[in-house]
């Protein structure tokens, strides 16, 4: 009986630790997205997460360790690379024509990544994760010849449209929405198409 009780307590402690860790990461992403790495401080992150600074250091080792883990947590798979290639361009264009506030959590993660990309301190840390967590899945999904360059062009276009949607701040409507979806769909259809020389073979 005592063994069962101890196992139950261990499970509760593990769940509590996971919940606390997740809360710290969420607070860190919000603070880093809002203030940037150089301005954000552990004390405020800990306060927002409702924990002591010592606990943040215990879980993540310090500010840089927390930042790296927050970056990793920002690269969540949304299943996009499992989409049907024939419908992907239109589906993606439709999402990009919408409001960035349709998914506030995803938008906040993107803002965090943008902050990281524009800081000389954090850009090198982001670059490594971009290669592993963002570009590599795109390469695998695209396949074919010259995939390194094609994936980079695809990523550049995708990020550019995400920034445009963020700056716009609202969904497109009417004829503007229609034209946007048509043009953006054609851009991504061309970007995911196999190279001509591969199609000939």
Residues 136 and 158 in one domain: yes
Does position 199 have pLDDT exceeding 60, yes or no? no
Question: pLDDT (tens digit, 9 = 90+) per residue, 55-72?
Answer: 999 999 989 899 888 888
Task: Identify the residue with better confidence: 108 or 50.
Answer: 50
Residues 121 and 186 in one domain: yes
Residues 57 and 149 in one domain: no
Nearest to 30 by CA among 152, 115, 157, 153: 115
Last residue of a domain, one of 27, 48, 74: 74
Confidence at 110, pLDDT banded by 50, 70, 90: confident
Phi, psi dihedral angles at 36 (to 5 degrees): 85, 160
- With 0.85 as the threshold, say if the pTM is over it: no
Residues 86 and 64 in one domain: no
Task: Identify the residue with better confidence: 84 or 97.
Answer: 97
CATH number for 65: 1.10.10.60
Residues 67 and 92 in one domain: no
Confidence at 51, pLDDT banded by 50, 70, 90: very high
3-state secondary structure the chain: CHHHHHHHHHHHHHHHHHHHHHHHHHHHHHHHHHHCCCCCCHHHHHHHHCCCHHHHHHHHCCHHHHHHHHHHHHCCCCCHHHCCCCCHHHHHHHHHHCCHHHHHHHHHHHHHHHHHHCCCCCHHHHHHHHHHHHHHHHHHHHCCCCHHHHHHHHHHHHHHHHHHHHHHCCCCCHHHHHHHHHHHHHHHHHHHCCCHHHHHC
Nearest to 67 by CA among 20, 91, 31: 31
Q: What does the pLDDT average to over 5-25? A: 67
The whole domain housing 17 covers 2-74
Residues 117 and 167 in one domain: yes
Residues 111 and 61 in one domain: no
């Amino acid at each position: 009986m005592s063994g069962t009780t101890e196992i139950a307590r261990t499970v509760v402690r593990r769940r509590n630790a996971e919940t606390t860790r997740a809360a710290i990461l969420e607070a860190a992403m919000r603070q880093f997205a809002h203030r940037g790495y150089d301005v954000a401080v552990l004390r405020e992150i800990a306060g927002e997460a409702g924990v002591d600074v010592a606990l943040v250091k215990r879980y993540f080792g310090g500010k840089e360790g927390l930042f790296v883990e927050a970056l990793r947590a920002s690269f969540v798979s949304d299943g996009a690379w499992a989409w049907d290639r024939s419908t992907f361009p239109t589906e993606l264009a439709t999402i990009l024509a919408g409001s960035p506030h349709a998914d506030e959590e995803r938008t906040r993660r993107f803002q965090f990544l943008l902050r990281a990309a524009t800081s000389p301190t954090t850009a090198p840390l982001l670059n490594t994760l971009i290669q592993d967590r963002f570009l590599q899945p795109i390469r695998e999904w695209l396949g074919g010849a010259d995939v390194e360059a094609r994936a980079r062009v695809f990523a550049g276009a995708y990020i550019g449209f995400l920034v445009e949607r963020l700056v716009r701040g609202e969904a497109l409507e009417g004829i503007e929405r229609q034209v946007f979806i048509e043009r953006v769909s054609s851009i991504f259809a061309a970007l995911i198409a196999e190279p001509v020389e591969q199609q000939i073979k």
